[in-house]
């Protein structure tokens, strides 16, 4: 068997009606090319296997039927692993993605203009069937904006993409959950010149879409993981700040409640409200900000977090006091002094928290060292 130049990977689940149609479309558009089609089916049991067998005389197509693993992303990865071509194209089976775009997408890879090409609805020349309701569109747009800092692609959610197969090895630690395997590969692989090719996205005629609300929630989790991968420090700081912000609300509520309902003096209320708020911060930093860190014993970690927070608070308060007492500028702009105090205290808390309180796992330290020596 000669090795093909292009491998088209198509994940399928209950697509028996579409299999002959997409195969014919691909064949018509890639005539004269060495190519292969790899369907990766999750045991649909709807005659898909027979449908591919029937094609196999005229079209270089085969089907892998998985009975143990499930899910779109792992299916796509499986297909890429089985691919033998120089270039891999991943597309849907439901004819939403036009096979006519494959050749121009490959050209962009071959010319070196791009090293990852996405079939895109949202760039000039791209379009989609216009019976998309307002909410479907809004939904898709928001999801797209959320991913912008990860990659400057207008249609990062697209399940239609192409790249050079040899680059697949550079994709570190793929975590194939959810629907957005293209985004995952693009962010984690060493691609320097991602680009887009405009397509018209057709709505499916046969079968049903499998994109559910659950998938969308998974998408948010997926994004969070990608942000952590690409911007570990910034995303930690952001989450730490977010938790701190909610902690501040708790702090304030308790501070006022103690005075209003228990007639407590403001100094005592201030001294008390700190503790539940700092505990709240500790819980959420343990579960959100530093999810992957060593799970130290609760009591020890809680105490050290409270200790750090107290020092941080002292620095926060001290900065405010010193600035407003000694610097004429801050005597006038007291609120700025408060903001600087908060930043100093939070910066201190953050540094100590990420190094000492929520200790990195040993493997993480090793990994960081490895990276330094490269």
Q: Which residues bind ligand GDD (CB under 6 A)?
A: 11-13, 15, 40-42, 70-72, 75, 92-94, 96, 140, 157, 159, 179-180, 204, 209-211
CA distances from 37 to 77, 84, 201, 258, 349 (A): 14, 10, 20, 69, 54
Q: How far is the CB of 96 from Mn ion (least distance, A)?
A: 5
Residue 236, contacted partner among ligand GDD, Mn ion, none, CB below 5-8 A by kind: none
- Residue 209 CB, nearest distance to ligand GDD (Å)? 4
- Residue 356, token pair as written in the block: 């000492």
Cβ-based nearer residue to Mn ion, 48 or 96: 96
Question: Could you give the CA distance from residue 187 to residue 216 in angstroms, rounded to a whole number?
Answer: 19
Looking at 23, 48, 96, 316, which residue binds Mn ion (CB under 5 A)? 96
Instruction: For residue 266, count other CB atoms closer than 10 A to its CB.
Output: 11
Residue nearest to Mn ion according to CB distances in the complex: 94
CA dist., res. 338 & res. 318, Å (int): 10
CB of 65 to Mn ion, least distance (A): 20
Contact of residue 72 among Mn ion, ligand GDD, none (CB under 5-8 Å per partner type):
ligand GDD
Coil, strand or helix: which one is 56?
Answer: coil
Nearer to ligand GDD, 163 or 280 (CB): 163
Burial 206-237 (b: 16+ CB within 10 A, else e): ebeeeeeeeeeeebeebbebbbbbeeeeebbb
Cβ nearer to ligand GDD, comparing 121 with 354: 121
The footprint of Mn ion on residues 187-206 (CB under 5 A) is: 204
Beta-carbon neighbour count of residue 15 at 10 Å? 24
Please tell me the distance from the alpha carbon of residue 105 to that of residue 144, in angstroms, as a whole number. 21
Task: Say which entry of ligand GDD, Mn ion, none residue 84 contacts (CB below 5 to 8 A, set by partner kind).
Answer: none
Intra-chain end-to-end CA distance of the chain, in Å: 40
Q: How many Å apart are CA 79 and CA 102, to the nearest integer?
A: 17
Task: With contacts defined by CB under 5 A, name the span among 91-99, 112-120, 193-201, 224-232 that binds Mn ion.
Answer: 91-99
Tell me the CA distances in angstroms from 176 to 126, 190, 370, one per residue in order: 28, 17, 25
Residue nearest to ligand GDD (CB): 159
**Least distance to ligand GDD, CB of residue 128, Å:** 9
13 binds, among Mn ion, ligand GDD, none (CB under 5 to 8 A by kind): ligand GDD
Helix axes 134-147, 213-230, angle to 10 degrees: 20
Least CB distance to ligand GDD at residue 200 (A): 13
Contacts (CB under 5 A) with Mn ion, residues 333-362:
none
Please tell me the count of residues contacting Mn ion according to CB under 5 A: 3
Strand partners, 291: none
Q: Confirm if 117 and 109 have CB atoms less than 8 A apart.
A: yes
Of 196 and 236, CB closest to ligand GDD: 196
Among ligand GDD, Mn ion, none, partner that 185 touches (CB below 5 to 8 angstroms by kind)? none
H or E segment and range at residue 221: helix 213-230
Is the Cβ of residue 162 or residue 346 nearer to ligand GDD in the bound state?
162
- Nearer to Mn ion by Cβ, of 14 and 293: the residue is 14
Please tell me whether residue 94 binds Mn ion under the rule CB under 5 A.
Answer: yes
CB of 8 to ligand GDD, least distance (A): 12
Do the Cβ atoms of 102 and 31 come closer than 8 Å?
no
Least distance to ligand GDD, CB of residue 150, Å: 15
Find the length of the chain: 374
Q: Which residues bind Mn ion (CB under 5 A)?
A: 94, 96, 204
């Amino acid at each position: 068997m000669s090795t093909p130049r292009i491998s088209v990977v198509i994940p399928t689940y209950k697509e028996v009606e579409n299999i002959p149609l997409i195969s014919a479309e691909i064949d018509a558009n890639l005539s004269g090319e060495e190519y292969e089609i790899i369907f990766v089916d999750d045991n649909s049991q709807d005659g898909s296997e027979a449908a591919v067998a029937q094609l196999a005389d005229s079209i270089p197509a085969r089907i892998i039927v998985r009975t143990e693993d499930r899910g779109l992303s792992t299916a796509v990865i499986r297909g890429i692993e089985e691919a033998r071509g120089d270039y891999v194209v991943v597309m849907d089976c439901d004819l939403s993605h036009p096979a006519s775009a494959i050749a121009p997408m490959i050209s962009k890879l071959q010319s070196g203009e791009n090293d990852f090409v996405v079939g895109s609805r949202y760039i000039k020349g791209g379009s989609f069937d216009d019976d998309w309701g307002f909410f479907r569109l809004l939904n898709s747009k928001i999801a797209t904006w959320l991913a912008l800092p990860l990659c400057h692609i207008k249609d990062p959610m697209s399940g239609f993409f192409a790249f050079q197969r040899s680059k697949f090895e550079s994709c570190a630690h793929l975590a194939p959950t959810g629907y957005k395997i293209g985004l995952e590969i693009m962010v984690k692989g060493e691609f320097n010149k991602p680009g887009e090719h405009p397509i018209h996205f057709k709505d499916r005629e046969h079968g049903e879409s499998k994109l559910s609300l659950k998938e969308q929630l998974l998408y948010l989790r997926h994004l969070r993981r990608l942000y952590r991968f690409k911007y570990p420090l910034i995303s930690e700081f952001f989450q730490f700040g977010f938790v701190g912000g909610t902690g501040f609300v708790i702090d304030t509520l308790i501070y006022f409640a103690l005075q209003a309902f228990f007639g407590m003096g403001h100094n005592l209320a201030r001294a008390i409200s700190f503790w539940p708020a700092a505990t709240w911060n500790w819980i959420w930093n343990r579960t959100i900000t530093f999810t992957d860190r060593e799970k130290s014993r609760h009591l020890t970690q809680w105490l050290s977090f409270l200790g750090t927070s107290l020092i941080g608070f002292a620095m926060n308060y001290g900065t405010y006091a010193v600035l407003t007492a000694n610097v004429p500028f801050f005597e006038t702009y007291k609120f700025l002094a408060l903001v600087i105090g908060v930043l100093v205290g939070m910066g201190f808390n953050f540094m100590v928290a990420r190094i000492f309180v929520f200790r990195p796992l040993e493997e993480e330290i090793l990994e960081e060292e490895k990276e330094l020596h490269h």
